[in-house]
């Protein structure tokens, strides 16, 4: 028997729970009601969860705040205390998207991050790229076909984004300082440039999409960009730019991490659910 508790989350979490419903023998939820979940689950509070019996606690993709706050669908966060964690047995896994400092410091159990898994990262790159394309279409007055699109970073998301925009007729310029990534970008027919050149090149961009969690978009870059350039940062903290500084510039500049949960929560949740079942099968030896 596998008993799990799902603490907080967003629309992805509902889809995740639906995927897990055929696997878990008992599922508890905190921060959702039965009507929202749509599958058989026991509604509980953080105080009355049967921590000692739990095989796994599933936390939101964005992890847990520095003070133990757990985001919920309706905006009222939960507060995970160290006293709750201490009640779990040694067999209890903690599963989350981002391994935040709170989890590293206060959870003496095995913590597994979805986003560190190659299968999740690659699958997640598809709704991420589709979300980027949608936002680019909505925030520009020109077609993507024929536009010059900067893709900053050429990791798993960057590759899929570049391919999708290229398939829509955009001219792709990839920025990376990694020789291997640059070689792969050139192999795909894209222009490869170093970040050392981005300030001088910025005037060329019609759309600029950043995937690198580093302050690569400086005021000097924004100054050189066209006023009509659409800038989209999908990276995690600290982000590509200072939000207060960005307000001073005329471009449409958005920071939208976690795009899959906003544009395709059902698909994103299914990806997480399938990965979670694989984790359970490996850790507990149970099969569906």
So what's the pLDDT on residue 236? 82
Same domain, 253 and 141: yes
Residue 198: per-residue pLDDT: 97
Instruction: Give the residue from 137, 133, 197, 146 showing the smallest Cα distance to 172.
Output: 146
Rounded distance between C-alpha atoms, residue 216 and residue 234, angstroms? 13
Residues 158 and 181 in one domain: yes
| Residues 80 and 133 placed together within one structural domain of the fold | no
CA atoms within 13 A on the CB side of 100: 18
Helix (H, G, I), strand (E, B), or coil: what is residue 230?
strand
pLDDT number for residue 58: 97
Question: Does residue 105 share a domain with residue 142?
Answer: no
90 shares a domain with 51: yes
Please indicate, yes or no, whether residues 32 and 153 belong to a single structural domain of this protein. Answer: no
Regarding whether 207 and 129 lie in a shared domain, the answer is: yes
197 and 110 housed in the same domain: no
pLDDT along the chain (288 residues), means of 10: 92 93 90 76 91 96 91 88 95 92 94 93 94 97 98 96 98 98 98 97 98 95 97 90 93 92 91 95 74
Give strand pairing partners of 174. Answer: 151, 192
Q: Compute the C-alpha angle 264/268/270, nearest 5°.
A: 125
Domain co-membership, 243 together with 148:
yes
Domain containing residue 20: 3-116+265-284
Could you tell me if 145 and 250 lie in one domain? Answer: yes
Number of domains in the chain: 2
Per-residue model confidence (pLDDT) at position 288: 42
Q: In whole angstroms, what is the distance from residue 213 CA to residue 43 CA?
A: 37
**CATH number where 97 lies:** 3.40.50.720
Asked if 6 and 30 count as a contact pair (C-beta separation under 8 A), the reply is: yes
pTM greater than the 0.85 cutoff: no
Q: Are residues 75 and 127 in the same domain?
A: no
Whether residue 62 sits in one domain with residue 46:
yes
Round to whole Å and give the CA distance between 70 and 61: 10
* Cα separation values, 227 from 82, 144, 151, 172, 248, Å: 49, 17, 18, 20, 12
């Amino acid at each position: 028997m596998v008993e799990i508790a799902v603490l907080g989350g967003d629309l992805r979490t509902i889809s995740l729970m639906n995927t897990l419903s055929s696997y878990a023998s008992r599922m508890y939820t905190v921060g959702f009601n039965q009507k929202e979940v749509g599958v058989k689950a026991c509604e509980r509070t953080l105080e009355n969860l049967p921590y000692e019996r739990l095989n796994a606690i599933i936390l939101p993709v964005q992890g847990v705040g520095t003070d133990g706050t757990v985001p919920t669908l309706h905006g009222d966060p939960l507060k995970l205390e160290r006293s709750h964690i201490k009640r779990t047995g040694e067999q209890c896994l903690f599963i989350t998207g981002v391994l935040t400092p709170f989890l590293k410091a206060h959870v003496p159990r095995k913590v597994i991050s979805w986003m560190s898994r190659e299968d999740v990262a690659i699958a997640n790159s598809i709704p991420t790229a589709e979300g980027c394309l949608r936002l680019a279409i909505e925030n520009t007055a020109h077609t993507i076909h024929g536009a010059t699109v900067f893709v900053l970073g050429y990791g798993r998301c960057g590759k899929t984004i570049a391919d999708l925009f290229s398939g829509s007729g955009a001219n792709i310029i990839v920025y990376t300082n990694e020789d291997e990534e640059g070689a792969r970008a050139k192999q795909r027919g894209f222009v490869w440039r170093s970040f050392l050149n981005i300030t001088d090149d910025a005037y060329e961009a019609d759309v600029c999409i950043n995937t690198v969690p580093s302050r690569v978009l400086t005021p000097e870059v924004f100054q050189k960009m066209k006023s009509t350039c659409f800038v989209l940062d999908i990276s995690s903290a600290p982000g590509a730019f200072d939000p207060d500084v960005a307000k001073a510039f005329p471009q449409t500049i958005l920071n939208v991490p976690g795009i899959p949960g906003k544009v395709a929560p059902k698909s994103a949740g299914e990806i997480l659910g399938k990965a979670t079942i694989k984790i359970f099968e490996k850790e507990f030896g149970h099969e569906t």
